[in-house]
Amino acid sequence: MKPEEISPDAPVEACPWWICFTSQNPLRRLLHNPEKMLSSYVKKGRAVMDVGPGMGYFTIPLARLVGDEGKVIAVDIEQHMLDGVRNAARRASVEKRVELHLSQPGNIGVLGPLDFTLAFWMVHEVRDRAKFVSQITSATRPGGLLYFVEPKIHVTRENFDDTVAKAKATGFEVVEHPKVAISYAALLRKKD
């Protein structure tokens, strides 16, 4: 059964909050170095959204990249995750740059305008991917970017390509396919 065929009222199979502590392992930087992966796309003063941020592995580096004039909206359907991001932001002294947003399954609830959205290893948990990318498109200013990454261990190439096609149908175009360890990745730009 494809994710779109599952009832929007069905329980969401989000990653349990307690497992996200494993993604904070310092050795992960050898595979996924946030600054190296994101610094080409995120500049000071930008409005950024991190969807499904876990405990803030990418959120904190994003907050450093946007600087005092920028903001990062950390969006999750689980309060435990957002609490973890809040604590990480305080420890990193970037809490004023990080806005926490508790969304509902099927509704991101962020209006934007956004310059950049990161969806790292989480889209496979979304029931209605077409609606998900449509909401990101609506919240993104023309020329804004969507960096979409999925794990090869959970997601097939066909499923990844299908989500990219859905993003293209809502107004994004593929800019590149960055190399990300053990992942499929696409950088998309919203058409003017």
Domain with residue 96: its CATH number is: 3.40.50.150
* Per-residue confidence band for 20, with pLDDT thresholds at 50, 70 and 90: very low
The DSSP secondary structure of the chain, one letter per residue, reads --GGGS-TTSPP-PPPGGGGGGGG-GGGGGT--HHHHHTTT--TT-EEEEES-TTTTTHHHHHHHHTTT-EEEEEES-HHHHHHHHHHHHHTT-GGGEEEEE-BTTB------EEEEEEES-GGG-S-HHHHHHHHHHHEEEEEEEEEEEETTT--HHHHHHHHHHHHHTTEEEEE----TTEEEEEEEE--
Assigned domain for 156 exists? yes
Split into its structural domains, the chain has a count of: 1
Assigned domain for 85 exists? yes
Assigned domain for 70 exists? yes
The pLDDT of 43-47, averaged and rounded, is 98
Assigned domain for 47 exists? yes
* Per-residue confidence band for 2, with pLDDT thresholds at 50, 70 and 90: very low
Question: Which residue range forms the structural domain that includes residue 130?
Answer: 41-190
pTM as predicted: 0.87
Assigned domain for 11 exists? no
pLDDT value of residue 122: 93
